[in-house]
A and B are shown apart, each in its own frame.
Chain A
Amino acid sequence: MLKIWSMKQQQQQAENAEGAAGKKKKKVTAAQLRVQRDLQELTLGNTMKMSFPNPDDILNFTLTIEPDEGMYKGGVFNFSFSVNQNFPHDPPKVKCTQKIYHPNIDLEGNVCLNILREDWKPVLNLNAVIVGMQFLFLEPNASDPLNKEAAEDLRTNREGFKRNVRSSMAGGSVRGIAFERVLR
């Protein structure tokens, strides 16, 4: 038999005298521990808020961004965050819960942000993600589009794109697609 077992054998008797201290309880998972830490280290400023449908479940929450400058100023945008037990080896899953007109967010709410996919690394934290999200509203990016039409508008006609953003945020239609009203 492996030596390590016999090495510890003597200690066992002492434990029996003490008596078992209740049944083993569930352990805090590595993902939970990391999210607990990441949340503490967030910098939300006054343009972002978070809400937790179930405060005991810190792996699922909503982030609300209210840009105070740029083309999307005045809008209120909600994103659902879902962190799995493989975090931080897997990135969090982020989806926009509204239908919005944005070159890097498609009509299903999928978000094109490099650090949410190919450039994710375990050393990145939730703060890096929300900073990236905020940046998407300040500087929508036409070179990496998920909504091709919106990207085309931004590239060829910046003023027209701005008008489209305004009317989509007010609940209007752009190119025949109706968007959700997201104004404060």
Chain B
Amino acid sequence: MIVTDANSQQNRWKHLHKVLTNAGPYCDEDWIPGEETITALESSKILGAGGLGCEILKNLALSGFKDIHVIDMDTIDISNLNRQFLFRQADIGKPKAEVAAAFVERRVKGVKITPFVGKIQDKDEDYYMQFKIVICGLDSIEARRWINSTLIGMVDMENPESLKPLIDGGTEGFKGQARVILPTLSSCIECQLDMHAPRPAVPLCTIATIPRQPQHCIEWAHQIAWQEKRKDDTFDSDDMEHISWVYNTAMERAQQFHIHGVTFQMTQGVVKNIIPAIASTNAVIAASTTSEVLKIATSCNPYLENYMMYAGEEGVYTYTFEAEKKPDCPVCGNLARKMIVDRNSTLGDFIDSLGERAEAQLKKPSLRTEEKTLYQRFPPQLEEHTRPNLKLKLHELLEDGEEVAVSDPAYTIDFRYKVIFNK
């Protein structure tokens, strides 16, 4: 059905507006349904990042959000067309973010979608500060940890707008998960990190000597044979010739060890680390995450607290629970405290003062900033190199407001201070 006339366009929001203009039994007591809520929804700037893109973008646009930004670094591959429904044959090779944005803008009148082709890591805090909510369908733990620590680092206790709810979704085959993270207030991705099973690694020695599985032969061709025979070429997992070479080499090795089952597809899977993506799992997870965005942006209903797992391998099973904040979480359990210092005191004086602070009482601290090793007690080579810093004045080593991280072998936790020069 193609909706074109203005009347039908307006009808599109009929049900949504019904929900937003009537209080339900579970909604927040302080919430006032009506026009104000609809305006708030339409003016909320939302950021969508990563792989569940098509679904999330479509859902956000159809939930009434009007100002959506999207980040994705990928270009469209032929293998995406089976499930990423905003893309067509003619789009192959074009950036996903741009094609998806243009498609949804064409289809849903009145929505503005701003694409950015690149990595989430290309953007800084100033960029993320403009959004109300961030929703992610990222494909790696690394990227999740990055966005998590960035959003937590942005929280300024004195600026409520700096707190950006993060809605994270992820899928693997028939399994999926959706979670709501209120940076610094609720359990974060880093707190929950040990819930992820580690990626199985095969000992290098097994690969090098006695392979037992077809995957070992592929790893051997990819990691060892390539190094030996094609040292000067940088392996590119998107280059068909490279994959074919690895495949043929792996086949030879498999025959030598009487191992069956090396296929071209498996080779691609092993070297590209491909995780199977199932369209309906993605749809379930994208739907649950975007529905959380809608609820948080409007307060029309309580939001997920805070983790929903979905298991679809055997029938359908979901379970919701509240993951707890880890007190010693290296990201959210360890926020920088403000410390006001005299810019003309020396680093040595500063270290002495750490020993006197009630919460620290550090005896043998080592300190650094993101850029500089300020003072490192061990090993000796670093101690010698950083010792002269002890005599330097703080303003010669730090900028006003810079973060200093302190660790001391006597304590199992580290301390972070935001050092502010007194005026």
Contact = CB atoms under 8 A, between A and B. Distances in A.
Interface of A: 1-9, 11-12, 14-15, 18, 21-30, 32-34, 36-37, 39-42, 44, 49-52, 55-56, 58, 86, 89, 104, 106, 108, 110, 112, 114, 117-118, 120, 144-146, 148
Contacts of B420: 21
A146 B207 CA distance: 9
B204 A112 contact: yes
5 contacts: A27-B370, A30-B331, A36-B376, A106-B208, A145-B205
Nearest to A14: B158
B203 A2 contact: no
Nearest to B190: A30
Interface stretch (B87-95, B308-316, B348-356, B381-389): B381-389
Contact of A36 (B145, B366, B402): B366
A1 B40 contact: yes
Contacts of B400: 21-22
A1, A104, A112, A145 interface centre (most CB from chain B within 10 Å): A1
6 closest A-B pairs by CB: A8-B160, A15-B158, A28-B405, A22-B401, A26-B370, A25-B402
Interface in B338-378: 364, 366, 368-373, 376-378
Nearest to B153: A27
B125 interface: yes
A39 B154 CA distance: 29
Nearest to B386: A55
| Most A CB within 10 A of own CB, among B190, B201, B331, B409 | B201
A58 B368 contact: yes
Contacts of A41: 378, 409
Contacts of A15: 156, 158-159
Interface in B138-160: 141-142, 145, 149, 153-154, 156-160
B72 interface: no
A49 B303 CA distance: 54
Interface string B188-221: 0010010000001111110011000000000000
B165 interface: yes
Interface centre among A12, A40, A51 (most CB of B within 10 A): A40
A115 to B, nearest CB: 11
Contacts of B386: 55
A146 B409 contact: no
B54 interface: no
B77 interface: no
B379 A33 contact: no
A145 B208 CA distance: 8
Contact of A4 (B160, B331, B401, B402): B160
Contacts of B414: 33, 36-37
B399 interface: yes
B330 A33 contact: yes
Interface of B: 28, 30, 40, 125, 141-142, 145, 149, 153-154, 156-161, 163, 165, 182, 185, 190, 193, 200-205, 208-209, 227, 296-299, 303, 330-331, 336, 364, 366, 368-373, 376-379, 381-382, 385-386, 399-405, 407-409, 414, 416, 420
A33 B378 contact: no
A114 B159 contact: no
Contacts of A112: 203-205, 208
Nearest to B149: A30
Given A25-B369, A37-B414, A112-B208, 4 more contacts: A8-B159, A8-B163, A12-B160, A21-B420
A21 B341 CA distance: 13
B370 A3 contact: no
A3 B299 contact: yes
A60 to B, nearest CB: 12
Q: Which residue among B28, B149, B205, B373 has the maximum number of chain A CB atoms within 10 Å of its CB? A: B205
A42 B379 contact: yes
Contacts of B190: 30
Contacts of A58: 368, 373, 376, 382
A118 B125 CA distance: 36
A43 to B, nearest CB: 9
A49 B380 CA distance: 9
B378 A42 contact: yes
Contacts of B407: 33, 36-37, 40
A39 B373 CA distance: 12
Contacts of A56: 371-373
Given A1-B299, A21-B401, A11 B158 contact: yes
A40 B208 contact: no
Given A36-B366, A89-B193, A5 B402 contact: no
Contacts of B154: 24
Contacts of B158: 11-12, 14-15, 18
B29 to A, nearest CB: 10
A117 B208 CA distance: 14
A75 B261 CA distance: 45
Nearest to A111: B204
Nearest to A7: B160
Interface centre among B154, B159, B399, B407 (most CB of A within 10 A): B407
Contacts of A6: 160
